[in-house]
Amino acid sequence: MHNYLHVYLDRKEVMEAILNARTLLGFRTLQLISVVDRIEEGNFQLTWILENYTDSLVLLLSADYSRENCSVPSLSTVWPTAEAFERELYEMYGVSFPGNPREGEDFILEGWNEIPPMRRDFDTEEYSMRVFGERQPRKHIDPRQYVGEIVGEWDTPLAAGERRSDGLRQATDPKEPPILFFGPQHPGVTGNMSIEMWFDGDEITRAITHVGYLHRGFEKLMEKKLWIQNFPLVCRICVPEPDINEQCYAMAIEELSGIEPPERARWIRTLVLEMARLAVNLMAFGGQAGTLGLGTGAMWGITLRDFVLDLFEELSGARIYHIYIQPGGVRRDLPEGFPGRVEEVLRTIEERLPELDRLILNNSVFKLRTTGVGVVDPSWIEEYALWALLPGSGGVRDVRKDAPTAYTTGWTSRL
């Protein structure tokens, strides 16, 4: 189980403390850099969250900085994960990190940087009116009237590095290597993670990740709502596995309010989180086969996942967004006979797993296209916080055992 320590420092001391934590105390993972906008006090509270996996320690180091011209030395040369964290805080709050190689590579729409959007004095209503205008009554729109405008915009030659109206750069110089975004090919590209890639023929010569700011949009929406109104929002942050967000949000409210859920509710939450984990793994397993052209594997994975979604529908009335976990426990008790039906679904899935192994894992094409591809050096695991890849690199980590605050104590020995 992890032990947590939160230390508040003077901003003149924080950089030295962070570096000492890494070099002397073994905190090799930078989990997050966060900002709290204390507008009434005129400052930002920055927090660096560090982890020492070997000793199961988590260290939070916080310091206050002025909101005006806030500047903090970059840690991107110390931790590779700092690059994306710092870039996000620069765009969202206007906190500058001198030395970050990607600071200023805006990935959000132009105009946001007048007042960074996550600052509490950012006026969402004013911005919406300025960009989108007043809301108009719905009416029939003939899409053909926009065809000329859209085609004209994309056909107009742009200078190298010039931006289109959607904010993305386009290199038009034939001597420049072509750039392609690998990821969601739809207007949500700035919200979801994507990879910007450079090509020389059919060879990828460079690639950088864009984490996306979908989660920040949810956070801004939640600022405007009552705490209870946010439960239908938090689950939508992660569509395939929404329940863990309900759990984390409920736990935060319970901690702030001094609420202790009853033991039965904690066991039911554990069951719900495991059902969600099983469903998303079945979808991902089949989806991996589907990306390689093995459509049968994708259908089999989705079919088995649907058995779990049937259980969620019986439990909560919904298949995807359940809104079942709430502060103080869960929305209602388990339906009569529900545990037996869960066991029946588990037996069905377990019986089918050997067939999935034969179809996917033992498939010669699957082996040819995955063996030796994307190999991660074990030394990267802690540096980049790639804990999901730890088992494949010979390590063992289970967050349910390492930090079981979201699960009922002793669940591993009783289930």
pLDDT interval class at 404 (50, 70, 90): low
Return the structure tokens found at 293: 């052209």
| Cα gap 360→285, rounded to integer Å | 9
Return the structure tokens found at 60: 């939070």
Mean residue pLDDT across the chain? 82
Handedness of CA 74, 80, 84, 85 (dihedral sign): negative
| Cα gap 52→59, rounded to integer Å | 8
Torsion angle, CA of 128/224/273/276, rounded to 10 degrees? Answer: -20
Mean pLDDT over 105-110 rounds to 62
| Cα gap 4→175, rounded to integer Å | 53
Return the structure tokens found at 184: 């969601």
| Cα gap 338→317, rounded to integer Å | 14
What pLDDT does residue 173 have? 55
Q: What is the pLDDT of residues 198-231, one digit of tens each?
A: 888 888 888 887 777 777 888 888 888 899 899 8
Return the structure tokens found at 175: 């001597």
| Cα gap 332→316, rounded to integer Å | 8
Least Cα distance to 328 among 208, 246, 209 occurs for 246
| Cα gap 406→53, rounded to integer Å | 19
List of domains in the chain = 3-119 (3.30.460.80), 177-212 (no CATH), 225-373 (1.10.645.10), 375-415 (no CATH)
| Cα gap 3→408, rounded to integer Å | 17
Q: What is the pLDDT of residues 365-403, one digit of tens each?
A: 999 988 888 778 878 888 888 877 777 666 666 767 766
Return the structure tokens found at 118: 């996550």
What pLDDT does residue 183 have? 67
Return the structure tokens found at 37: 């906008």
Which is more confidently placed, 415 or 343? 343
Burial grade of 14 (CB within 10 A; 0-12, 13-18, 19 or more) = buried
Contact between 198 and 204 under an 8 Å Cβ cutoff? The reply is yes
Return the structure tokens found at 166: 């959607």
Contact between 32 and 82 under an 8 Å Cβ cutoff? The reply is no
Residue 196 predicted with pLDDT over 90: no
| Cα gap 64→62, rounded to integer Å | 7
What pLDDT does residue 151 have? 42
| Cα gap 94→115, rounded to integer Å | 8
| CA dist 39 → 61, 96, 121, 160, 309 (Å) | 20, 18, 8, 40, 44
CA diameter of the chain? 68
Contact between 358 and 366 under an 8 Å Cβ cutoff? The reply is no
Contact between 56 and 402 under an 8 Å Cβ cutoff? The reply is yes
Residue 409 predicted with pLDDT over 70: no
